Chain A
Amino acid sequence: MKKVLARKKGKKGKSRRSTNSMASLQSRKGPTKQRKKPRLALVSDMSLNESLFSEPEMNSTRQGLGDALVALGDLNKNLVVLTADLATSTNVSAFAKTHPERFYNVGIAEQNMLGIAAGMAFSGKVPFATTFGVFATGRAWDQLRTTICYAKANVKVAATHCGVTVGEDGATHQSLSDLAVTRSIPHLTILSPCDYNQTKKAVFAAAEIKGPVYLRLGRTKTPLVTTSETPFKIGGAQVLCEGGDAAIIATGEMVYEALMAAQRLALRRIKATVINIHTIKPIDEDAIKKAALTGLIITAEDHHIKGGLGSAVAEVLADWPGKKKPLQVMVGVEDVFGTSGPAEELMKSFHITSEDIYNAVLKEKRG
């Protein structure tokens, strides 16, 4: 059995070229000039946002959760929504107004919330238990594991405030280990949509399948990558653009960063594939193995390098049968806690911007 040559990304030097990253988008004030058309050929089947490379609209995945639940509440009479007194933060307060009889605030008690959600699921309800990622997967991990997943309870745990992009609240509230601790629980489906539109689709898809689902969502507004036309299927990775030189495999808001990096690489005649892993588990092994044929894989996530998407990809490639071992570079948060600060500055500080992805590819390709 051959091992994938995996290496953690070290600190990279500053690039001379400025980048169209989420960080720079957020700090922008007022309208800016239309940028040059990218050489990047997006996969047309994906119907991505047309203004992706110019001035994409911004919205948060937590807003996607809130909007989707309101819509879903009308369609699915068994849908119930629970919060551990974070309704305004997880954006489920709209549901509380439209469907008050199916909304439960259990107080600041996440463990109890997941237990209650399991009991409701056993009685035929489709509960969405919402809180922050750190509480859903840290404080209430045993409830998630034993009471929900072991029994295959049809509970959807929708966790917002994942990643350092939580911003000013700091390390206690920035969920950077949630993928690591949920990936090891059997029966659990893990979704990590890349933007507002995809979150809405993920919420609908999660309600449709039977069994426990963990939804990883963020707090800040991020650029819209997908549209309502973009297909979504649990378990199927999305190839957003194709290139034979490298493959950037990203999840969550890092998908936008990956596309921006690919665009800049294209200007330097490096053609990169960009893959959106919106389903962390079950992960699309075929798509990853196909991407590995490029010989260089960059994983990008707003999560600890240890145990997250990068690890999941490395697990897939661990028994690579081919002669040419693909090289994997992991862009993600190093083995440290988060900290307070504006989201865009934190992304830079923790080296999880498009620039870091760009540099990682460039270093391997140009040495």
Chain B
Amino acid sequence: MERHDISELKEDAKLIRADIIRMVEASGSGHPGGSLSSADIMATLFFNEMRHDPKNPEWPDRDRFILSKGHCTPVLYATLARAGYIPKEEIYTFRKLKSRLQGHPGKEELPLLEASTGSLGQGLSVSVGMALAAKLDKRPISVYCLMGDGEQQEGMVWEAAMSASHFKLDNLCAIVDVNKMQLSGTTEQVMNIEPLAKKYKAFGWRVIRVNGHRIKSLLWAFRFFKWCRGWNKPVVILADTIKGKGVGFMEGRVEWHGQAPNKQEALLALKDILGDTGG
């Protein structure tokens, strides 16, 4: 896929955000908060960083992307639609009966997904498996795994983190969307996960912490990952974000973790995202 520049990536993220709102409003349920916080990361990944071909989703040398925070399907489907993997209108079937767009990613329904996720904490292990297979086959691919910060509370994440550095997987890049919130409150209140950077460092990873809404910083972080190739260590990007980013009344509000806006709220949200002329 052709690489988008910074201004194009900003536009991509904006349109992805708008589709998140449209999709969640249409289904009447879903997780807008963590989807909106990941939009800039997803845009940067799919429209600049990753090597992939929407016309050939089974290309063996494609980079792999695993959405470990599986509840954030809106941002995944919106990105896939924008990249041309699925028709744009299909996003309105999200969470509906017989839709390929399941509430959480289902590979059975949508085979172009790399894995079925949603039970938190498992995506990094799957990514480790893919990175190991790529090493075994000597394929020049990278594996990207997007996790939530609340997800870091799952013990399995650390089993996977330990194994990624043990197996020297410098072709693996984990991204943690650090929006500092989870279902019932802030991560600090519920179960403190910080200091994340120190934890990953202690587990043998190379750590970079950036502003997860600044495209330039994200690009730089991914360049750091590529630069670390050959150093035999996995890389984790701790992306500091704001839950609900882009929609004024959702930003930093924990109640929008897993709640859909109604029609009026959606219009307001779209106005925030697209500006007065949009809608």
> Chain A interface (Cβ within 8 Å of chain B)?
80, 101-102, 104, 106-107, 109, 111-112, 114-125, 127, 142-143, 146-147, 150-152
Using CB atoms, name the residue of chain B closest to A115.
Answer: B125
B174-204 vs A, CB cutoff 8 Å, 1 = contact: the mask equals 0000000000000000000000000000000
Q: Cβ of B133 and Cβ of A124 under 8 Å apart?
A: yes
Quick check: is B114 within 8 A (CB to CB) of the other chain? yes
Q: How many A-B residue contacts, CB cutoff 8 Å?
A: 107
A106 to B128, CA, bound (A): 11
Q: Cβ of B116 and Cβ of A147 under 8 Å apart?
A: yes
Quick check: is B268 within 8 A (CB to CB) of the other chain? no
Chain B interface, DSSP helix/strand/loop, else mixed: helix
Q: Cβ of B118 and Cβ of A123 under 8 Å apart?
A: no
Quick check: is B5 within 8 A (CB to CB) of the other chain? no
Report 28 cross-chain contacts, Cβ distance below 8 Å, ordered by A residue: A106-B163, A109-B162, A111-B125, A111-B156, A112-B160, A114-B125, A115-B123, A115-B126, A115-B160, A116-B125, A116-B128, A116-B160, A116-B163, A118-B129, A119-B115, A119-B125, A119-B128, A119-B132, A120-B129, A121-B129, A122-B115, A125-B133, A125-B136, A143-B125, A143-B156, A146-B122, A147-B125, A150-B107
A106 to B165, CA, bound (A): 12
Shortest beta-carbon distance, A107 to chain B, in Å? 7
Q: Cβ of B126 and Cβ of A102 under 8 Å apart?
A: no
A124 to B60, CA, bound (A): 9
A109 to B167, CA, bound (A): 14
A150 to B70, CA, bound (A): 14
A residues less than 8 Å from B130 (CB atoms): 119-120, 122-123
Quick one: which of B115, B133, B136, B159 contacts A109, CB cutoff 8 A?
B159
A106 to B107, CA, bound (A): 25
A48 to B167, CA, bound (A): 45
Quick one: which of B133, B155, B160 contacts A120, CB cutoff 8 A?
B133
Q: Cβ of B116 and Cβ of A150 under 8 Å apart?
A: yes
Q: Cβ of A146 and Cβ of B162 under 8 Å apart?
A: no
Residues in B103-162 with C-beta less than 8 Å from chain A: 106-108, 114-119, 122-134, 136-137, 155-156, 159-160, 162
Q: Cβ of B129 and Cβ of A146 under 8 Å apart?
A: no
Using CB atoms, name the residue of chain B closest to A113.
Answer: B125
Quick one: which of A107, A116, A120, A146 contacts B119, CB cutoff 8 A?
A146
Q: Cβ of B129 and Cβ of A142 under 8 Å apart?
A: no
Interface residues on B, range: 20 to 34
A residues less than 8 Å from B156 (CB atoms): 111-112, 115, 143
A78 to B64, CA, bound (A): 19
Shortest beta-carbon distance, B151 to chain A, in Å? 13
Residues in B44-99 with C-beta less than 8 Å from chain A: 60, 64
Q: Cβ of B117 and Cβ of A147 under 8 Å apart?
A: yes
Q: Contacts A107-B163, A147-B117 known; list 15 others, CB within 8 Å.
A: A80-B133, A80-B136, A111-B122, A112-B156, A112-B160, A115-B128, A116-B129, A119-B133, A120-B133, A122-B126, A122-B129, A123-B64, A142-B119, A147-B115, A150-B106
Q: Cβ of A150 and Cβ of B126 under 8 Å apart?
A: no
Shortest beta-carbon distance, B62 to chain A, in Å? 11
Q: A112-B125, A119-B128 are in contact. Are A146 and B118 (CB under 8 A)?
A: yes
Using CB atoms, name the residue of chain A closest to B154.
Answer: A111
Q: Cβ of A147 and Cβ of B122 under 8 Å apart?
A: yes
A142 to B160, CA, bound (A): 16
A residues less than 8 Å from B131 (CB atoms): 119
A residues less than 8 Å from B133 (CB atoms): 80, 119-120, 123-125
Residues in B216-230 with C-beta less than 8 Å from chain A: none
Q: Cβ of B115 and Cβ of A107 under 8 Å apart?
A: no
Which 3 residue pairs are nearest across A and B when measured between Cβ atoms? Answer: A119-B129, A115-B125, A123-B133
A348 to B114, CA, bound (A): 49
Q: A116-B125, A119-B126, A146-B116 are in contact. Are A107 and B132 (CB under 8 A)?
A: no
B residues less than 8 Å from A106 (CB atoms): 163
A115 to B126, CA, bound (A): 5
Q: Cβ of A122 and Cβ of B159 under 8 Å apart?
A: no
Q: Cβ of A119 and Cβ of B117 under 8 Å apart?
A: no
Q: Cβ of B126 and Cβ of A116 under 8 Å apart?
A: yes
A112 to B160, CA, bound (A): 6
Q: A109-B163, A112-B160 are in contact. Are A118 and B115 (CB under 8 A)?
A: yes
